[in-house]
Structure 1
Amino acid sequence: MRKEKLIQHSADYQKKLNDLFDQIDFDVLEQITSTIIDVYKNEKTIYVAGNGGSAATASHYKVDFGFFVRYFKKKRIKVVSLTDHSPLMTAIGNDNSYDEVFTQQMQDYFSKGDVLIAISASGNSMNVVKAAEYANELGGTSIGLVGFEGGKLKDACKICLFTPNPKGDYGPIEDLHMIICHMLVSYLRQDEEFMSLYE
Protein backbone atom coordinates (compact mmCIF):
# COMPACT_ATOMS: atom_id res chain seq x y z
CA MET A 1 0.00 0.00 0.00
CA ARG A 2 2.75 2.48 0.91
CA LYS A 3 4.62 1.74 -2.31
CA GLU A 4 1.54 2.57 -4.39
CA LYS A 5 1.06 5.80 -2.46
CA LEU A 6 4.71 6.73 -2.99
CA ILE A 7 4.38 6.05 -6.71
CA GLN A 8 1.31 8.29 -6.93
CA HIS A 9 2.90 10.99 -4.79
CA SER A 10 6.02 10.94 -6.96
CA ALA A 11 3.90 11.29 -10.09
CA ASP A 12 2.00 14.22 -8.55
CA TYR A 13 5.24 15.90 -7.48
CA GLN A 14 6.76 15.42 -10.92
CA LYS A 15 3.70 17.06 -12.46
CA LYS A 16 4.19 20.08 -10.18
CA LEU A 17 7.78 20.38 -11.39
CA ASN A 18 6.74 19.97 -15.01
CA ASP A 19 4.05 22.65 -14.62
CA LEU A 20 6.62 25.04 -13.13
CA PHE A 21 9.12 24.26 -15.86
CA ASP A 22 6.48 25.02 -18.50
CA GLN A 23 6.05 28.50 -16.97
CA ILE A 24 9.69 29.51 -17.43
CA ASP A 25 9.91 32.73 -19.43
CA PHE A 26 12.83 32.00 -21.77
CA ASP A 27 13.09 35.66 -22.79
CA VAL A 28 13.91 36.41 -19.16
CA LEU A 29 16.24 33.42 -18.95
CA GLU A 30 18.07 34.76 -22.00
CA GLN A 31 18.43 38.13 -20.25
CA ILE A 32 19.89 36.41 -17.20
CA THR A 33 22.33 34.41 -19.33
CA SER A 34 23.48 37.50 -21.23
CA THR A 35 23.94 39.38 -17.96
CA ILE A 36 26.13 36.59 -16.56
CA ILE A 37 28.27 36.61 -19.73
CA ASP A 38 28.64 40.41 -19.49
CA VAL A 39 29.72 40.10 -15.86
CA TYR A 40 32.46 37.71 -16.91
CA LYS A 41 33.57 39.86 -19.86
CA ASN A 42 33.72 43.00 -17.71
CA GLU A 43 35.44 41.25 -14.80
CA LYS A 44 32.65 42.18 -12.39
CA THR A 45 31.19 40.10 -9.55
CA ILE A 46 27.99 38.12 -9.04
CA TYR A 47 26.53 38.16 -5.51
CA VAL A 48 23.93 35.58 -4.49
CA ALA A 49 21.49 35.72 -1.55
CA GLY A 50 18.56 33.79 -0.10
CA ASN A 51 17.09 32.46 3.15
CA GLY A 52 16.58 28.91 4.38
CA GLY A 53 16.48 26.49 1.47
CA SER A 54 17.17 29.40 -0.85
CA ALA A 55 20.33 30.16 1.13
CA ALA A 56 21.54 26.65 0.33
CA THR A 57 20.68 27.27 -3.32
CA ALA A 58 22.65 30.53 -3.22
CA SER A 59 25.68 28.65 -1.93
CA HIS A 60 25.23 26.08 -4.70
CA TYR A 61 25.19 28.85 -7.32
CA LYS A 62 28.51 30.06 -5.91
CA VAL A 63 30.02 26.59 -6.32
CA ASP A 64 28.69 25.90 -9.80
CA PHE A 65 29.24 29.32 -11.37
CA GLY A 66 32.55 29.98 -9.65
CA PHE A 67 34.16 26.59 -10.09
CA PHE A 68 33.05 25.22 -13.44
CA VAL A 69 35.38 27.68 -15.24
CA ARG A 70 38.37 26.41 -13.26
CA TYR A 71 40.08 25.40 -16.49
CA PHE A 72 39.91 28.91 -17.91
CA LYS A 73 43.50 30.09 -17.98
CA LYS A 74 43.12 33.79 -17.24
CA LYS A 75 40.13 34.30 -14.98
CA ARG A 76 37.05 32.75 -13.41
CA ILE A 77 33.59 34.12 -12.85
CA LYS A 78 33.77 35.95 -9.55
CA VAL A 79 30.88 34.82 -7.35
CA VAL A 80 30.19 35.69 -3.71
CA SER A 81 27.47 33.97 -1.67
CA LEU A 82 26.18 36.40 0.95
CA THR A 83 24.72 33.49 2.92
CA ASP A 84 27.97 31.70 3.77
CA HIS A 85 29.45 33.78 6.62
CA SER A 86 27.30 32.77 9.59
CA PRO A 87 29.33 34.68 12.26
CA LEU A 88 29.00 37.91 10.27
CA MET A 89 25.34 37.31 9.48
CA THR A 90 24.45 36.65 13.12
CA ALA A 91 26.44 39.71 14.23
CA ILE A 92 24.54 41.94 11.81
CA GLY A 93 21.22 40.31 12.72
CA ASN A 94 21.88 40.69 16.43
CA ASP A 95 23.37 44.19 16.46
CA ASN A 96 21.48 45.80 13.58
CA SER A 97 18.62 43.93 11.96
CA TYR A 98 18.14 40.68 10.11
CA ASP A 99 16.75 42.82 7.29
CA GLU A 100 20.31 44.13 6.80
CA VAL A 101 22.30 40.88 6.79
CA PHE A 102 22.93 41.15 3.04
CA THR A 103 23.09 44.92 2.49
CA GLN A 104 25.66 45.36 5.26
CA GLN A 105 27.92 42.85 3.51
CA MET A 106 27.33 44.48 0.12
CA GLN A 107 28.46 47.85 1.46
CA ASP A 108 32.00 46.51 1.69
CA TYR A 109 32.31 45.14 -1.83
CA PHE A 110 29.38 45.69 -4.22
CA SER A 111 30.13 48.18 -7.00
CA LYS A 112 28.63 49.53 -10.21
CA GLY A 113 28.27 46.80 -12.83
CA ASP A 114 28.06 43.98 -10.30
CA VAL A 115 25.06 41.63 -10.24
CA LEU A 116 22.90 40.33 -7.39
CA ILE A 117 20.95 37.10 -7.84
CA ALA A 118 18.21 37.20 -5.18
CA ILE A 119 16.45 33.87 -4.59
CA SER A 120 13.16 33.66 -2.69
CA ALA A 121 10.17 31.33 -2.90
CA SER A 122 7.77 33.97 -1.57
CA GLY A 123 9.53 37.11 -2.76
CA ASN A 124 8.74 38.76 0.58
CA SER A 125 11.92 38.21 2.59
CA MET A 126 12.85 41.79 3.43
CA ASN A 127 16.59 41.19 3.62
CA VAL A 128 16.54 39.91 0.04
CA VAL A 129 14.23 42.72 -1.15
CA LYS A 130 16.49 45.33 0.46
CA ALA A 131 19.54 43.70 -1.13
CA ALA A 132 17.93 43.98 -4.58
CA GLU A 133 17.02 47.63 -4.01
CA TYR A 134 20.53 48.36 -2.76
CA ALA A 135 22.11 46.68 -5.80
CA ASN A 136 20.00 48.92 -8.04
CA GLU A 137 20.99 52.04 -6.10
CA LEU A 138 24.67 51.25 -6.59
CA GLY A 139 24.30 50.87 -10.35
CA GLY A 140 24.23 47.10 -10.36
CA THR A 141 21.77 44.64 -11.84
CA SER A 142 19.36 42.80 -9.56
CA ILE A 143 18.09 39.43 -10.77
CA GLY A 144 15.21 37.78 -8.92
CA LEU A 145 14.18 34.13 -8.88
CA VAL A 146 10.76 33.99 -7.23
CA GLY A 147 7.68 31.78 -6.90
CA PHE A 148 4.32 31.92 -5.07
CA GLU A 149 2.74 35.28 -6.01
CA GLY A 150 6.03 37.05 -6.68
CA GLY A 151 5.95 39.24 -3.58
CA LYS A 152 7.88 42.50 -3.30
CA LEU A 153 11.01 41.04 -4.87
CA LYS A 154 9.28 40.65 -8.25
CA ASP A 155 8.94 44.42 -8.57
CA ALA A 156 12.23 45.29 -6.84
CA CYS A 157 14.43 43.45 -9.35
CA LYS A 158 15.49 44.77 -12.74
CA ILE A 159 15.23 41.24 -14.14
CA CYS A 160 12.88 38.71 -12.56
CA LEU A 161 12.17 35.09 -13.41
CA PHE A 162 8.74 34.64 -11.82
CA THR A 163 7.24 31.16 -11.84
CA PRO A 164 4.01 31.26 -9.78
CA ASN A 165 3.04 28.28 -7.66
CA PRO A 166 0.74 27.68 -4.66
CA LYS A 167 1.71 29.71 -1.63
CA GLY A 168 3.50 27.59 0.96
CA ASP A 169 4.55 24.86 -1.48
CA TYR A 170 8.28 25.46 -1.07
CA GLY A 171 9.75 22.21 -2.36
CA PRO A 172 8.90 22.43 -6.07
CA ILE A 173 9.88 26.10 -6.47
CA GLU A 174 13.16 25.55 -4.60
CA ASP A 175 13.79 22.55 -6.84
CA LEU A 176 13.17 24.70 -9.91
CA HIS A 177 15.62 27.37 -8.74
CA MET A 178 18.29 24.70 -8.37
CA ILE A 179 17.44 23.26 -11.79
CA ILE A 180 17.83 26.74 -13.30
CA CYS A 181 21.32 26.93 -11.80
CA HIS A 182 22.28 23.63 -13.39
CA MET A 183 20.64 24.59 -16.69
CA LEU A 184 22.53 27.87 -16.88
CA VAL A 185 25.89 26.30 -16.10
CA SER A 186 25.42 23.44 -18.56
CA TYR A 187 24.22 25.90 -21.21
CA LEU A 188 27.21 28.23 -20.76
CA ARG A 189 29.50 25.33 -21.54
CA GLN A 190 28.11 25.33 -25.07
CA ASP A 191 27.44 29.04 -25.58
CA GLU A 192 29.70 30.23 -28.41
CA GLU A 193 30.15 33.76 -27.06
CA PHE A 194 30.97 32.59 -23.56
CA MET A 195 33.29 29.79 -24.63
CA SER A 196 35.10 32.16 -27.01
CA LEU A 197 36.38 33.85 -23.86
CA TYR A 198 38.18 30.63 -22.91
CA GLU A 199 41.93 31.05 -23.27
Structure 2
Amino acid sequence: MSERVGGHDAPSGEMRDLYPFLYSGTADLASVMADVRRSTVEKAEEIVALRQRVLALDGARLEACAVRMAEAFRAGGRLFTFGNGGSSTDAQDVAALFLNPGGDARPLPALALTTDVAVMTALSNDIGFDVVFARQLGALGRAGDIALGLSTSGNSTNLIRAFDEAMRRGMLTIGLAGHTGGRLAELDGLDHLFTVPSSSVHRIQEAQTTVYHALWELTRYAL
Protein backbone atom coordinates (compact mmCIF):
# COMPACT_ATOMS: atom_id res chain seq x y z
CA MET A 1 0.00 0.00 0.00
CA SER A 2 2.96 2.37 0.46
CA GLU A 3 6.60 2.87 -0.45
CA ARG A 4 9.53 4.33 1.45
CA VAL A 5 10.36 7.91 0.51
CA GLY A 6 12.89 9.88 2.51
CA GLY A 7 12.60 7.49 5.44
CA HIS A 8 8.81 7.76 5.57
CA ASP A 9 5.96 5.71 4.14
CA ALA A 10 4.58 7.48 1.09
CA PRO A 11 0.90 6.80 0.29
CA SER A 12 0.05 4.55 -2.61
CA GLY A 13 -1.85 5.86 -5.61
CA GLU A 14 -4.93 3.99 -4.43
CA MET A 15 -4.86 5.74 -1.05
CA ARG A 16 -4.38 9.12 -2.74
CA ASP A 17 -7.38 8.43 -4.98
CA LEU A 18 -9.57 7.45 -2.04
CA TYR A 19 -8.54 10.26 0.31
CA PRO A 20 -7.00 13.08 -1.77
CA PHE A 21 -7.64 15.63 0.97
CA LEU A 22 -5.13 13.87 3.24
CA TYR A 23 -2.32 14.45 0.76
CA SER A 24 -3.11 17.93 -0.53
CA GLY A 25 -0.03 19.42 1.12
CA THR A 26 -2.02 22.32 2.57
CA ALA A 27 -2.29 23.32 6.21
CA ASP A 28 -5.45 25.35 5.56
CA LEU A 29 -8.13 23.66 7.70
CA ALA A 30 -11.00 25.23 5.79
CA SER A 31 -9.59 23.98 2.50
CA VAL A 32 -9.04 20.48 3.88
CA MET A 33 -12.60 20.34 5.27
CA ALA A 34 -13.97 21.49 1.93
CA ASP A 35 -12.07 18.64 0.24
CA VAL A 36 -13.42 16.18 2.82
CA ARG A 37 -16.96 17.40 2.21
CA ARG A 38 -16.57 17.19 -1.57
CA SER A 39 -15.05 13.69 -1.37
CA THR A 40 -17.87 12.49 0.90
CA VAL A 41 -20.56 13.86 -1.41
CA GLU A 42 -18.92 12.27 -4.46
CA LYS A 43 -18.78 8.85 -2.78
CA ALA A 44 -22.40 9.14 -1.60
CA GLU A 45 -23.56 10.04 -5.10
CA GLU A 46 -21.56 7.17 -6.55
CA ILE A 47 -23.07 4.52 -4.28
CA VAL A 48 -26.61 5.88 -4.77
CA ALA A 49 -26.20 5.69 -8.54
CA LEU A 50 -24.76 2.18 -8.28
CA ARG A 51 -27.63 0.97 -6.10
CA GLN A 52 -30.14 2.40 -8.57
CA ARG A 53 -28.35 0.60 -11.40
CA VAL A 54 -28.42 -2.70 -9.51
CA LEU A 55 -32.15 -2.26 -8.85
CA ALA A 56 -32.81 -1.55 -12.52
CA LEU A 57 -30.80 -4.60 -13.59
CA ASP A 58 -31.91 -7.08 -10.94
CA GLY A 59 -35.17 -5.88 -9.40
CA ALA A 60 -37.32 -8.58 -10.97
CA ARG A 61 -34.74 -11.31 -10.28
CA LEU A 62 -34.47 -10.23 -6.63
CA GLU A 63 -38.23 -10.62 -6.29
CA ALA A 64 -38.14 -14.07 -7.91
CA CYS A 65 -35.29 -15.14 -5.62
CA ALA A 66 -37.15 -13.92 -2.54
CA VAL A 67 -40.22 -15.94 -3.55
CA ARG A 68 -38.07 -19.08 -3.70
CA MET A 69 -36.50 -18.24 -0.33
CA ALA A 70 -39.96 -17.83 1.17
CA GLU A 71 -41.00 -21.20 -0.25
CA ALA A 72 -37.91 -22.80 1.29
CA PHE A 73 -38.55 -21.26 4.71
CA ARG A 74 -42.22 -22.22 4.55
CA ALA A 75 -41.20 -25.85 3.92
CA GLY A 76 -38.86 -25.86 6.92
CA GLY A 77 -35.65 -24.83 5.17
CA ARG A 78 -32.79 -23.02 6.88
CA LEU A 79 -30.46 -20.30 5.64
CA PHE A 80 -26.65 -20.77 5.73
CA THR A 81 -24.47 -17.76 4.91
CA PHE A 82 -20.72 -17.47 4.29
CA GLY A 83 -17.95 -15.23 2.94
CA ASN A 84 -14.38 -14.11 3.56
CA GLY A 85 -12.99 -10.95 5.16
CA GLY A 86 -15.49 -8.11 4.97
CA SER A 87 -17.89 -10.51 3.26
CA SER A 88 -17.65 -12.70 6.37
CA THR A 89 -19.02 -9.82 8.42
CA ASP A 90 -21.75 -9.27 5.84
CA ALA A 91 -22.62 -12.98 5.98
CA GLN A 92 -23.10 -12.66 9.73
CA ASP A 93 -25.26 -9.58 9.19
CA VAL A 94 -27.47 -11.49 6.74
CA ALA A 95 -27.99 -14.34 9.21
CA ALA A 96 -28.74 -11.93 12.06
CA LEU A 97 -31.19 -10.03 9.87
CA PHE A 98 -33.27 -13.13 9.12
CA LEU A 99 -32.96 -14.67 12.59
CA ASN A 100 -33.61 -11.51 14.60
CA PRO A 101 -35.63 -9.08 12.45
CA GLY A 102 -37.00 -7.17 15.42
CA GLY A 103 -40.52 -6.07 16.23
CA ASP A 104 -43.31 -8.48 15.38
CA ALA A 105 -41.55 -9.86 12.31
CA ARG A 106 -41.25 -13.63 12.10
CA PRO A 107 -37.73 -14.90 12.94
CA LEU A 108 -36.36 -17.30 10.34
CA PRO A 109 -33.74 -20.03 10.92
CA ALA A 110 -30.34 -18.74 9.77
CA LEU A 111 -26.72 -19.51 10.59
CA ALA A 112 -23.49 -17.82 9.47
CA LEU A 113 -20.81 -20.45 8.83
CA THR A 114 -18.09 -17.93 9.72
CA THR A 115 -18.88 -17.61 13.43
CA ASP A 116 -17.48 -20.83 14.91
CA VAL A 117 -13.77 -20.12 15.30
CA ALA A 118 -13.01 -23.65 16.54
CA VAL A 119 -14.58 -25.25 13.46
CA MET A 120 -13.01 -22.74 11.05
CA THR A 121 -9.51 -23.14 12.45
CA ALA A 122 -9.78 -26.92 12.81
CA LEU A 123 -10.81 -27.37 9.19
CA SER A 124 -8.20 -24.86 7.98
CA ASN A 125 -5.43 -26.52 9.96
CA ASP A 126 -6.33 -30.18 9.41
CA ILE A 127 -7.59 -30.09 5.82
CA GLY A 128 -7.30 -26.66 4.23
CA PHE A 129 -9.08 -23.32 4.06
CA ASP A 130 -10.76 -24.25 0.78
CA VAL A 131 -13.17 -26.58 2.60
CA VAL A 132 -14.18 -24.46 5.61
CA PHE A 133 -17.68 -23.81 4.25
CA ALA A 134 -18.22 -26.95 2.17
CA ARG A 135 -17.53 -29.27 5.10
CA GLN A 136 -20.01 -27.40 7.30
CA LEU A 137 -22.67 -27.57 4.62
CA GLY A 138 -21.88 -31.27 4.19
CA ALA A 139 -22.57 -31.81 7.89
CA LEU A 140 -25.51 -29.44 8.37
CA GLY A 141 -27.14 -28.81 5.01
CA ARG A 142 -30.01 -30.75 3.51
CA ALA A 143 -32.27 -30.54 0.49
CA GLY A 144 -34.55 -27.51 0.71
CA ASP A 145 -32.11 -25.38 2.73
CA ILE A 146 -30.62 -22.14 1.40
CA ALA A 147 -26.90 -21.41 0.82
CA LEU A 148 -26.04 -17.73 0.41
CA GLY A 149 -22.42 -16.75 -0.24
CA LEU A 150 -20.90 -13.29 -0.63
CA SER A 151 -17.71 -12.27 -2.43
CA THR A 152 -16.48 -9.03 -3.97
CA SER A 153 -14.52 -10.85 -6.68
CA GLY A 154 -16.53 -14.04 -7.09
CA ASN A 155 -13.26 -15.97 -7.24
CA SER A 156 -12.95 -17.45 -3.74
CA THR A 157 -12.28 -21.17 -3.96
CA ASN A 158 -13.96 -21.91 -0.64
CA LEU A 159 -17.17 -20.31 -1.95
CA ILE A 160 -17.00 -22.36 -5.14
CA ARG A 161 -16.51 -25.54 -3.10
CA ALA A 162 -19.38 -24.57 -0.79
CA PHE A 163 -21.79 -23.98 -3.67
CA ASP A 164 -20.74 -27.28 -5.28
CA GLU A 165 -21.62 -29.04 -2.02
CA ALA A 166 -24.88 -27.13 -1.65
CA MET A 167 -25.96 -28.01 -5.19
CA ARG A 168 -25.16 -31.67 -4.61
CA ARG A 169 -27.47 -31.58 -1.61
CA GLY A 170 -30.35 -29.91 -3.43
CA MET A 171 -30.11 -26.60 -1.62
CA LEU A 172 -31.27 -23.28 -3.04
CA THR A 173 -28.03 -21.45 -3.96
CA ILE A 174 -27.62 -17.65 -4.00
CA GLY A 175 -24.40 -15.81 -4.79
CA LEU A 176 -23.54 -12.12 -4.39
CA ALA A 177 -20.46 -10.92 -6.25
CA GLY A 178 -18.91 -7.86 -7.84
CA HIS A 179 -17.76 -6.70 -11.26
CA THR A 180 -18.71 -9.52 -13.71
CA GLY A 181 -19.12 -12.27 -11.10
CA GLY A 182 -15.74 -13.98 -11.50
CA ARG A 183 -15.73 -17.77 -11.16
CA LEU A 184 -19.21 -17.72 -9.62
CA ALA A 185 -20.57 -16.54 -12.97
CA GLU A 186 -19.07 -19.65 -14.57
CA LEU A 187 -20.55 -22.04 -12.01
CA ASP A 188 -23.11 -24.37 -13.58
CA GLY A 189 -26.26 -24.88 -11.56
CA LEU A 190 -26.14 -21.78 -9.33
CA ASP A 191 -29.77 -20.78 -8.85
CA HIS A 192 -29.28 -17.03 -8.41
CA LEU A 193 -26.29 -14.73 -8.87
CA PHE A 194 -26.43 -10.99 -8.26
CA THR A 195 -23.39 -9.03 -9.42
CA VAL A 196 -22.62 -5.41 -8.58
CA PRO A 197 -21.16 -3.78 -11.73
CA SER A 198 -18.20 -2.04 -10.12
CA SER A 199 -14.47 -2.66 -9.73
CA SER A 200 -14.34 -0.89 -6.35
CA VAL A 201 -14.39 -3.26 -3.37
CA HIS A 202 -15.86 -0.50 -1.20
CA ARG A 203 -18.76 0.27 -3.55
CA ILE A 204 -19.43 -3.44 -4.18
CA GLN A 205 -19.79 -4.20 -0.48
CA GLU A 206 -21.97 -1.14 0.08
CA ALA A 207 -24.28 -2.18 -2.76
CA GLN A 208 -24.36 -5.80 -1.57
CA THR A 209 -25.79 -4.67 1.77
CA THR A 210 -28.67 -3.17 -0.20
CA VAL A 211 -29.12 -6.38 -2.18
CA TYR A 212 -29.43 -8.64 0.85
CA HIS A 213 -31.62 -6.17 2.74
CA ALA A 214 -33.91 -6.12 -0.30
CA LEU A 215 -33.95 -9.94 -0.32
CA TRP A 216 -34.88 -9.92 3.36
CA GLU A 217 -37.71 -7.40 2.87
CA LEU A 218 -39.05 -9.21 -0.18
CA THR A 219 -38.88 -12.59 1.53
CA ARG A 220 -40.83 -11.27 4.50
CA TYR A 221 -43.40 -9.84 2.08
CA ALA A 222 -43.66 -13.18 0.24
CA LEU A 223 -44.23 -14.98 3.54
Q: TM-score, normalised by structure 1?
A: 0.87
Cα displacement (A) at 1:187? 4.3
Q: Which moved more, 1:108-117 or 1:18-27?
A: 18-27
Q: Distance in 2 between matches of 1:94 and 1:81?
A: 20
Cα displacement (A) at 1:86? 1.3
How many residues align? The count is 188
The answer (yes or no) to whether the contact 1:165–1:173 under 8 Å persists in 2 is yes
Poorly superposed stretches of 4+, deviation over 6 Å: none
Q: Distance in 1 between matches of 2:219 and 2:180?
A: 29
The answer (yes or no) to whether the contact 1:102–1:131 under 8 Å persists in 2 is yes
Q: Distance in 1 between matches of 2:118 and 2:212?
A: 27
CA offsets 1:42-67 (integer angstroms, 9 cap, x no match): 11111101000000000001111111
CA offsets 1:100-144 (integer angstroms, 9 cap, x no match): 000111111101111111100000011011111211111111101
What is the match of residue 142 of structure 1? 173
Structure with greater Cα Rg: 2
2:154 to 117, 120, 123: 123
1:159 maps onto 2:189 in alignment: no
SS in structure 2 opposite 1:83?
coil
1:21 to 48, 51, 65: 51
1:9 maps onto 2:9 in alignment: no
Query: Does 1 or 2 have the higher relative contact order (CA < 8 Å, sep 6+)?
Result: 1
Q: Distance in 1 between matches of 2:205 and 2:122?
A: 27
CA offsets 1:2-28 (integer angstroms, 9 cap, x no match): 211112211221232123213321122
1:55 maps onto 2:85 in alignment: no
What is the match of residue 103 of structure 1? 134
Gapped runs of 5+ residues in structure 2? 1-30
Cα displacement (A) at 1:176? 1.3
Pairwise CA RMSD of aligned residues? 1.8
Q: Distance in 2 between matches of 1:185 and 1:82?
A: 18
What is the percent sequence identity of the aligned residues?
24
Q: Distance in 1 between matches of 2:219 and 2:135?
A: 31
Q: Which moved more, 1:105-114 or 1:17-26?
A: 17-26
SS in structure 1 opposite 2:143?
coil
Gapped runs of 5+ residues in structure 1? 195-199
Q: Distance in 1 between matches of 2:45 and 2:103?
A: 36
Identify if the C-alpha distance between structure 1 residues 100 and 69 changes in structure 2 by more than 3 Å, giving closer, same or farther. same
Cα displacement (A) at 1:173? 0.9
The answer (yes or no) to whether the contact 1:47–1:79 under 8 Å persists in 2 is yes
What is the match of residue 113 of structure 1? 144
What is the match of residue 197 of structure 1? none
The answer (yes or no) to whether the contact 1:111–1:138 under 8 Å persists in 2 is yes
